[in-house]
C-alpha cells in the first residue's frame, strides 16, 4: 500500500545524527528521485583528492562548516543536472541562513514550487549516543548502528561486503563541536522555513521504519490538509 506523495522536492533538516541520511535514502528509493547529500558529495571529493576535497577535508574533520559560497555553487551545479529534473531529496543543505536564501533563489530559477522541509527531531543525549554507534560502509555509504545492526567497526557491510568504519567526525569531541555549530549556525534556518510555511515536524525517535512511515503519512495527500 503506497501512499501517494504530493511533492517530489523534499529537504531533510535536523542536527547531526537525527537520521536525515537514513530517511533520505529510504524516501529516495520509495519516491524514485535522487538523494543529494552534501556531506556525501564532500566525502567523495575528499576520497578522490579533488581541489574541493583538499579544501574540505580539514574543515570536515574539525566539525566546522565549509564556506557558503563553495556549498551554494556545489548545490547549484547538482540541482541543474538532468537527474534532478524529476525531483530530489536534499540532505545536509542548507546549514546556514545565507545558504537557505540562496536555495530559495535557486528553486525560483528552476521554477520549483511545492517544496517541503521535513524537520527531524531527537533529543541531544540520543544524538550523541547514535553518532557514537554509527558505522558507515566505505563502499556503498550505507549507515549501520552498532547498537541495533549486529555489526562492529571493521565488520563487512551486510549489503555489499565493504568495510564498516566510523566517520572521522563521529568521534565524541567532534560530535559535540558539530552540535554546537548546529545550534549556532543551522538552527536559525528553521525559523526561516517556518516563516515560509513549508516546515513539517516529525519525531525522529523510534526505528527507521516507523519514522519513515510517519514521514510518508505526513507528506501524503491525506495529511497535506
Ligand atoms: P553530513 O554528512 O551532512 O553530516 O556533513 C558532514 C560535514 O560536511 C559537515 O560537518 C560539514 O563540515 C560539511 N558539510 C556538509 N554539508 C554542508 C553545508 N551545507 N554547509 C557547510 N558544510 C557542510
Q: What pLDDT, on the 0 to 100 scale, is given for residue 224?
A: 43
Q: Separation of 67 CA from ligand 1 center, angstroms?
A: 10
Q: pLDDT band at residue 221, thresholds of 50, 70 and 90?
A: low
Q: Rg of the Cα trace of the chain? A: 17
Q: What pLDDT, on the 0 to 100 scale, is given for residue 225?
A: 39
For residue 91, which atom of ligand 1 is closest to its CA?
Answer: 3
Burial of 207 (0-12, 13-18, 19+ CB in 10 A): exposed
Nearest residue (CA) to ligand 1, atom 6: 39
Q: Separation of 41 CA from ligand 1 center, angstroms?
A: 9
Is 81 assigned a catalytic role? no
Q: How many CB atoms lie within 10 A of CB 208?
A: 16
Q: Separation of 65 CA from ligand 1 center, angstroms?
A: 6
Q: Which residue has the cell 536559525?
A: 188
Q: What pLDDT, on the 0 to 100 scale, is given for residue 217?
A: 94
Q: What pLDDT, on the 0 to 100 scale, is given for residue 69?
A: 98
Q: Which residue has the cell 567526525?
A: 169
Q: pLDDT band at residue 13, thresholds of 50, 70 and 90?
A: very high
Catalytic residue among 43, 130, 134, 142: 134
Asked if 214 contacts 203 with a C-beta cutoff of 8 angstroms, the reply is yes
Q: Separation of 225 CA from ligand 1 center, angstroms?
A: 33
pLDDT at residue 2 above 90? no
pLDDT at residue 52 above 90? yes
Q: Is 61 helix (H, G, I), strand (E, B) or coil?
A: helix
Render pLDDT for 72-95 as a digit per residue (tens, 0 to 9). 999 999 999 999 999 999 999 999
CA–CA gap between residue 61 and residue 107 (Å, rounded): 30
Is 95 assigned a catalytic role? yes
For residue 95, which atom of ligand 1 is closest to its CA?
Answer: 19
Residues with CB under 6 A from ligand 1: 16, 38-39, 42, 59-60, 63-66, 71, 92-95, 99, 169, 178
Is 178 assigned a catalytic role? yes
| Residue of 14, 38, 70 to test ligand 1 pocket, by largest number of atoms within 8 Å of CB | 38
Catalytic residue among 25, 43, 95, 130: 95
Q: What pLDDT, on the 0 to 100 scale, is given for residue 6?
A: 72
Please report, rounded to a whole number, the percentage of residues in the chain having pLDDT higher than 70: 96
Amino acid at each position: 500500500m503506497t501512499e501517494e506523495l504530493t511533492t517530489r522536492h523534499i529537504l531533510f533538516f535536523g542536527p547531526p545524527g537525527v537520521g536525515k541520511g537514513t530517511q533520505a535514502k529510504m524516501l529516495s528509493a520509495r519516491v524514485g528521485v535522487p538523494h543529494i547529500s552534501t556531506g556525501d558529495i564532500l566525502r567523495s571529493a575528499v576520497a578522490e583528492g579533488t581541489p574541493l576535497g583538499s579544501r574540505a577535508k580539514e574543515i570536515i574533520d574539525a566539525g566546522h562548516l565549509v564556506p557558503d559560497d563553495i556549498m551554494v555553487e556545489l548545490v547549484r551545479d547538482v540541482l541543474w543536472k538532468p537527474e534532478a529534473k524529476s525531483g530530489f531529496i536534499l540532505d545536509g543543505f542548507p546549514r546556514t541562513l545565507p545558504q537557505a536564501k540562496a536555495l530559495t533563489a535557486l528553486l525560483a530559477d528552476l521554477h520549483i514550487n511545492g517544496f517541503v522541509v521535513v524537520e527531524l527531531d531527537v533529543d541531544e543525549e540520543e544524538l550523541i549516543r547514535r553518532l557514537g554507534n554509527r558505522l558507515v560502509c566505505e563502499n556503498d555509504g550505507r549507515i549501520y548502528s552498532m547498537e541495533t545492526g549486529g555489526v562492529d567497526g571493521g565488520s563487512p557491510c551486510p549489503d555489499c561486503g565493504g568495510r564498516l568504519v566510523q566517520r572521522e567526525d563521529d568521534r565524541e569531541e567532534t560530535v559535540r563541536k558539530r552540535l554546537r555549530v548546529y545550534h549556532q549556525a543551522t538552527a536559525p534556518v528553521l525559523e526561516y522555513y517556518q516563516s515560509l510555511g513549508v516546515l513539517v515536524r516529525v519525531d525522529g525517535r523510534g526505528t527507521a521504519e516507523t519514522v519513515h512511515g510517519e514521514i510518508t503519512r505526513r507528506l501524503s495527500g491525506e495529511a497535506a490538509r
